[in-house]
Chains A and B, each alone.
Chain A
């Protein structure tokens, strides 16, 4: 058979495409559950982290997450976790960073006086500068931080982090002022929404 003729070319292209697409479909199918699982675990860990709930491993986190409810509070969708005598809330937030959207979870106490924690799931900030928002020290600053006038302000300390729980401030990242300001704006917008929604309930 002449391998350069039109019919053979069409047939060959069709067969090759079919074989490779089939192979990809199989690989995709085989790993779909694992990928879905990874996505869930990541979400679960982020919500619990934002609430300041400690867990040992992925399994433990999923177990704890079974007790987390998704509630509608005055039209705002929140995660609610009642533990011992405390009620913890977390909200999925998103907002504009310097280069792209920043997404994650923000945890807050039921009385709205302190945050519980902050996580960052996604961002497109400059690696090594604004991208440092995904370093633990940056996020740890939002652990049990007292809100002053319902807000957390960006302070300017030494760029090493502000871990004083009552300061009502967090330390921005040196050399990444725009990203730090974006974080301040995003966090406060969402804090306001959450406290309004929680306040309306009582």
Chain B
């Protein structure tokens, strides 16, 4: 790295112009699985923010010690450790949410965004900047997931964060609760995102 990237530009990049989900199309497995209720999505994405920040920090701190051959194995070990810590904490202090998320917490390990940022950013950059990169990328991910969850919960259950907001006569769209609807909603969200970007004149 010749010069360190500016934090402000990184923020904009990770949240919008290079958003992990709708520009890089990474991490969509979880975008499909845990987006039918806002509360679950919120907890899960907060966990991802924590795991990504810590992973990037750790990888960046020990990057000069890691032998190249086992680089990715070590990254996976680090990610897995933090995810297991999150899982244990949820199980101990938020048992209801832990049950609702079920196996999806463990599946954060396989979220490609985390390893992608560890490999692409934290391996070459100083610790604090890497934390910033991890956290902002995770916020980009969180934003898109919450948008999808908002649409799915509102139409699928008629509620937001568990509070009924639609009138009694509203008939919930059962398809919105099922995983396939996430494909449609994700596609529409990407479409809208790119359309706005094109209007802004950015190369979409």
Contact = CB atoms under 8 A, between A and B. Distances in A.
Do A and B actually bind?
yes
B156 A4 contact: no
B69 A4 contact: yes
B interface bracket (residues with beta carbon within 8 Å of A): 20 to 34
B143 interface: no
A68 B156 CA distance: 41
Contact of A20 (B67, B81, B157): B81
Given A3-B65, A4-B67, A27 B157 contact: no
Contact of B88 (A3, A9, A28): A28
Nearest to B80: A20
B93 interface: yes
Interface of B is mostly: helix
Contacts of B37: 127
B89 A8 contact: no
Interface in A12-38: 12-13, 16-17, 20, 23-24, 27-28, 31, 34-35, 38
B173 to A, nearest CB: 10
A12 B88 contact: no
A180 B37 CA distance: 23
B178 A126 contact: yes
Contacts of B9: none
Contacts of A3: 65, 67
Contact of A35 (B68, B69, B92): B92
Interface stretch (B10-18, B71-79, B191-199): B71-79
A14 to B, nearest CB: 11
Interface in A31-70: 31, 34-35, 38, 42
Nearest to B77: A20
Contact of B69 (A9, A24, A28): A9
Name the residue among A3, A24, A34, A128 with the largest chain B CB count within 10 angstroms: A128
B42 interface: no
Interface of B: 36-37, 62, 65-70, 73-74, 77-78, 81, 84-85, 88-89, 91-93, 95, 156-157, 172, 174, 177-178
